[in-house]
Amino acid sequence: MIRSFRRIGALGAATVAAVAFTAAAPVAAAPAVPADGYEFTLYAKEVPVGGDESPGASPEVGDSFAFADDLSRTKGGEKVGRDGVGCTVVRTGDPMDVLCVGTFVLNGGPGGQLTGQTLLSVDPSDQAPAAFDIAVTGGTGDFKDARGWIRSTPDGDHSRLEFHLTR
């Protein structure tokens, strides 16, 4: 069950989420976020944490989990950043709601951090989670004052993150 949360939470996933969110130029070649906005795509691949996950336990309000991803411009490509996401179950039943908050750290130009959050409605038995949006709540460095959203879409063992940023 936690693994299915991780896959949908990639902000990742937040994530993450947002995640998780229309391809443009590679991040390393991108300028700072212009006043009229900027869009780019990254791929998130979860970093293994080890340990034994215990599927089958029913989640309860307050249960939480965390995960991290490496971010690249292409699946399996050079790492251009990372993220860290923490999620908490805030409602059980049908649907179950999970609140995820995460931070994306991007290297190169532009560089800096982006923060995001989302409330996911989750069916724990669903092995193929749907795409979801992550609200961008702020940033640092080249992303100072950034706002917007990130679309996170499952893409095999990655999550495709389509960033849509404005100031």
Q: How far is CA 143 from the centre of its chain?
A: 16
Q: What is the pLDDT of residue 53?
A: 59
If one compares 28 and 80, the residue with the highest pLDDT of the two is 80
Confidence (pTM): 0.77
Pairing of the two strands 64-72 and 132-139: unpaired
Average pLDDT over residues 46-50: 85
Tell me the torsion sign for CA atoms 155, 118, 57, 67.
positive
| Confidence label for 31 from pLDDT (cuts 50, 70 and 90) | very low
Residue 3 has pLDDT above 50, yes or no: no
What are the pLDDT digits (tens) for 87-143?
Answer: 999 999 888 999 999 999 999 767 899 999 999 998 867 777 789 999 999 999 989
11-25, 54-68, 87-101: range with highest mean pLDDT:
87-101
Q: Tell me what pLDDT residue 6 has.
A: 40
Residue 7 has pLDDT above 60, yes or no: no
Mean pLDDT (whole number) for 43-53: 81
Residue 55 is predicted with a pLDDT of 61
In which element (H, E) is residue 79 found? Answer: strand 79-91
Terminal-to-terminal C-alpha distance of the chain:
37
**What secondary structure, in 3-state letters, does the chain show?**
CHHHHHHHCECCCCCECCCCCCCCCCCCECCCCCCCCEEEEEEEEECCCCCCCCCCCCCCCCCEEEEEEEEECCCCCCEEEEEEEEEEEEECCCCEEEEEEEEEEECCECCEEEEEEEEEEECCCCCCCCCEEEEEEEECHHHCCCEEEEEEEEECCEEEEEEEEEC
Selected residue with higher pLDDT from 58 and 57 = 58
